Structure 1
């Protein structure tokens, strides 16, 4: 058996308690703030990712016989790893070869 009193008129509704109205408003506001915060964080990640990328060089001129196998870059340089186990480090400003590193096997 239910102890809730039955209303004879179905159109009668009890007024919503003030604390329940406050909680409903609070949950709605907090949900909106969380969504806005998440969107702001995502926007900041996208903006910082786009600005952090350095432009790729248009053309990379490798020494004769060198074949590239990997590429990486820094703020003012970029490097090409060749099939001949060398790392060629180029200056980003003028594209000139700065340094050549020979990779020796550990055998």
Structure 2
């Protein structure tokens, strides 16, 4: 130390500054823990391997209708069909039994 320079022991830290320093330290630790938690959760969820949905072996459509699109859900398959006249329908079919669970007519344009 230099000769005549004020020593830190001569000037105690003001209580407001001490409180502010502790608050900043606590918030920094909270931020670090939060970021680590979020990154950990993302790694756990994104690295989880989910099996692909099982496709039914075949889907029987009524005579004269052809499939335009298909989507899978848990235990069901939705098929957009079109008949010879151009009428479109959405058929919901049970994935296990192949039985039709629902039918929705699509209005023409």
Q: Which TM-score applies when normalising by structure 2?
A: 0.50
Specify which structure has the higher proportion of strand. 2
- Provide the rounded CA distance (Å) in 2 between the counterparts of 1:78 and 1:31: 45
Q: Which runs of 4+ in 1 moved over 4 A?
A: 12-15, 43-48
Specify whether residues 91 and 14 from structure 1 end up closer, same or farther in structure 2 by C-alpha distance, changes over 3 A only: same
Aligned residues: 94
SS in 1 for 2:59: coil
Corresponding residue for residue 59 of structure 2: 61
Distance 2:7 2:68 in 1: 75
Structure with greater contact order relative to length (CA < 8 Å, sep ≥ 6): 2
The counterpart of 2:100, out of the listed 98, 101, 106, is 98
Unaligned 5+ segments in structure 1 are 1-7
Per-residue CA deviation, residues 28-65 of structure 1 (Å, 9 max, x unaligned), is 211112203423553576489x66x8714154434355
| Pairwise CA RMSD | 4.1
Structure 1 distance, partners of 2:64, 2:7, is: 87
